[in-house]
Structure 1
Amino acid sequence: MAGDTTITVVGNLTADPELRFTPSGAAVANFTVASTPRIYDRQSGEWKDGEALFLRCNIWREAAENVAESLTRGSRVIVTGRLKQRSFETREGEKRTVVEVEVDEIGPSLRYATAKVNKASRSGGGGG
């Protein structure tokens, strides 16, 4: 979409994806990706973990079901999507704002793993 802020992040799922269905029957999966940069420390001559970035992500429809069936806590993934800001009010009446990723594409990282791809046999929603 024009004007959207797009992002690609590589990281690990912090928990199994949470799959739910809206009242109209649309599937949505929510998950968090932790992306930790590696930083070279010249004094020690070693690579160290930088500060982790935690991004809450959501993906819709058939892709949501595929994510829930395919990925688990610790899975290293590559996520591409659009940053979205959402404001809400807590039960205590406090106003909060969060930034989330509306996922367009997701897949396993093959840097440290292998994967076997199986075409989903579901019918339904279109998309690119």
Structure 2
Amino acid sequence: MAGDTYITVVGNLTADPEVRTTSNGGTVANLTIASTPRQFNRNSGQWEDGDSLFMRCSAWDSTYSPMASNIQASLTKGMRVIAQGRLVQRSYQDREGNNRTVVELRLDEIGPALTRNTAQVTRNANTGGGGSRGGFAGSNNGGYQGGASYQGGAGAASAPMGRQQPAQSQQAPAQDPWSSTGSGDSFGSFGSTGEFGGSGDEPEF
């Protein structure tokens, strides 16, 4: 749409996507992507992490595109993703009556970044004339633990029909600060509180 600002973000999920149903029956998924640039330090001769950008994102189910449901079934905390959408700004009142303004990414597309994962795509059954986008029901490779439909390992694609090899658990790359799935991750709930306009204080759409 003319005048919209579209961006692409690559990073790791700071927490599992939060999916809820609004009062008018809509289904929305909220998630936060931590995008951390890396730069080469000529003095130390090593790559170093820069300041992370925490991008709050939302996606909705529609008649022909169950995107929020696909996100819930496919993506989990720590997984590296690539997301594309448009920036939107909205204002609301929190539970204490304070006026808040947030900027978030309204997702058009999102999926695992294949630099750190492998995935097999399972197409959703058609829900109408326009069909719908497929969800990810594949595997991960690089230590990222998948959701309900994220199973298998890098060798799953070569397994005989009807059989699937067990998942291979690996350590996440040391240079990736957002790949941890442990409960001790202090950033695991980032964006889920009212501190940065999280969904905890937001009214239903």
**So what's the TM-score if we normalise by structure 2?**
0.59
What residue is the counterpart of 2:50 in the other structure?
50
- What does residue 165 of structure 2 align with? none
Flag the 1:14–1:70 CA change in 2: closer, same or farther, 3 A.
same
| CA–CA separation in structure 1 for the residues paired with 2:129 and 2:102 | 28
- Whole-angstrom distance in 1 between the partners of 2:124 and 2:70: 8
Distance 1:37 1:13 in 2: 15
Aligned residue for 1:66? 70
- Structure with the largest fraction of strand: 1
Q: How does 1:24-43 map to 2 (within 5 A)?
A: 24-43=24-43
For 1:65, give the aligned amino acid. Answer: S
Partner of 1:78: 82
Q: 1:2-21 counterparts in 2 under 5 A?
A: 2-21=2-21
Deviation, structure 1 residue 92: 2.9
Q: Which of 85-94 and 74-83 deviates more?
A: 85-94
Q: CA deviation at 1:91?
A: 2.8
2:94 matches 1:90: yes
Q: Give every structure 1 segment of 4 or more consecutive aligned residues whose post-TM-superposition deviation is greater than 6 Å.
A: none
Q: Take 2:95 and 2:68, find their aligned partners in 1: how far apart are those partners?
A: 28
Amino acid at match of 2:2: A
Match of 1:121 among 104, 120, 125: 125
Aligned CA-pair RMSD: 1.8
Q: CA deviation at 1:69?
A: 0.4
Which stretches in structure 1 are left out of the alignment for 5+ residues?
none
Letter in 1 for 2:22: T
Between the aligned partners of 1:59 and 1:79, the Cα distance in structure 2 is 11
| Aligned: 1:109 with 2:113 | yes
For 1:90 and 1:125, the matched residues in 2 are separated by 40
Secondary structure in 2 aligned to 1:110? coil
Q: Which sections of structure 2, spanning at least 5 residues, go unmatched?
A: 134-205
Partner SS, residue 67 of structure 1: helix
Question: Quick one: distance in 2 between partners of 1:23 and 1:92?
Answer: 21
- Over 3 Å counting, the alpha-carbon distance change for 1:95 and 1:25 in structure 2 is closer
Identity of aligned residues (%): 59
| Larger of the two Rg values belongs to structure | 2
CA distance in 1, matches of 2:2, 2:39: 34
TM-score (norm 1): 0.91
- Three-state SS of the structure 2 residue aligned to 1:64 is helix
CA distance in 2, matches of 1:125, 1:100: 31
